[in-house]
Amino acid sequence: MKIPEVTANEMREIDRRAIEEYNIPALSLMENAGQRSAEFIIRHYPQSERITILAGKGNNGGDGLVAALSLQKSGKTVEIVLADDKLKGIPLLQLQRVEELKIPVLHSFRQKPDIIIDALLGYSSRGIPRGRIGELITESKKYPAEIISLDIPSGFDLDTGTFYSPSFQGAVVLTFGLPKKYMTGNPGIKKLYLIDIGFPQPIFQSFGIQYPEDIFARGSFNAEIF
């Protein structure tokens, strides 16, 4: 199924217009992203019990924290590994909710995960992952876990479609709203799924983008792109 891809700047404008022109709270977009990603994992990986979420300090990390809440409530054994303690705004709110539910918030792996959720870097990131983020990507390679990246794989260059080192090359990617440029058919991405997080269709249409009418199966919020 071919869906038009967008650049990081176009996605940023879609986010802005959804919030400012259509009055969709950023919190709602984040909660849709996290909850629907969790629903995808619960449905597609029912036998995977131990889930480690790598969370950055930005909105991508916030998406991962929301997913943690839903996965914990479903009965999964969840731990969160923070790349940075300096969360602000909505991601900080999600961290507080996680702590209220007593989900372990750590700085390194404690369990041997079946799934590692990559919520480290979003579409605004640029350059080689460094510091603790780079260390966590490298540390993840020690585990024979399925890597599931939220929106983009950390370490993916949105300007060229190549992967830095370190990166989550080979991840299953759950991308939000629309695929980002160079994602579809990229050999460095194991599988690509589109997650509907509630963007109004007129925004896409203003960019000349039209979803196929049947892209999402009845009652579903995700679709396989390749």
Q: Could you report the per-residue pLDDT of 115-168, keeping only the tens digit for each? A: 999 999 999 898 999 999 999 999 999 999 999 999 999 999 998 999 999 999
Confidence of residue 66 (pLDDT cuts 50, 70, 90): very high
Confidence of residue 219 (pLDDT cuts 50, 70, 90): low
Confidence of residue 201 (pLDDT cuts 50, 70, 90): confident
Cα 134 to Cα 202: distance, rounded to the nearest angstrom: 38
pLDDT at 217 over 90: no
Angle between helices 26-44 and 89-100 (to 10 degrees): 50
pLDDT of residue 211: 73
Cα 128 to Cα 213: distance, rounded to the nearest angstrom: 38
Cα 153 to Cα 145: distance, rounded to the nearest angstrom: 15
pLDDT at 215 over 80: no
Question: What number is the average pLDDT over the span 87-109?
Answer: 96
Mean pLDDT over the full length of the chain:
93
Structure-block tokens of residue 208: 């000349």
Lowest-pLDDT range of 31-35, 93-97, 219-223: 219-223
Question: What number is the average pLDDT over the span 69-90?
Answer: 96
212 to each of 156, 170, 178, 209, how far by Cα in Å? 27, 27, 12, 10
Confidence of residue 208 (pLDDT cuts 50, 70, 90): confident
pLDDT of residue 222: 72
Residue partners of 187: CB distance under 8 A and separation at least 6: none
pLDDT of residue 225: 78
What type of residue sits at position 102?
Answer: K
pLDDT of residue 11: 93
pLDDT at 10 over 70: yes
pLDDT of residue 4: 84
Lowest-pLDDT range of 4-8, 75-79, 141-145, 221-225: 221-225
pLDDT at 1 over 60: no
pLDDT of residue 50: 98
Q: What is the DSSP string of the chain?
A: -----B-HHHHHHHHHHHHHTS---HHHHHHHHHHHHHHHHHHH-TT--EEEEEE-SSHHHHHHHHHHHHHHHTT-EEEEEES-S---HHHHHHHHHHHHTT--EESS--S--SEEEEES--TT--S---HHHHHHHHHHTTS-PEEEEESS-TTB-TTTS-B-SS--TTEEEEEESSPBTT-TT-TTEEEEEEE-----HHHHHHTT----TTSSPTT-SEEE--
Radius of gyration of the chain (CA): 16
Structure-block tokens of residue 224: 């396989």
Cα 63 to Cα 35: distance, rounded to the nearest angstrom: 8
Lowest-pLDDT range of 6-10, 101-105, 175-179, 218-222: 218-222
Angle between helices 26-44 and 59-73 (to 10 degrees): 50
What type of residue sits at position 78?
Answer: V
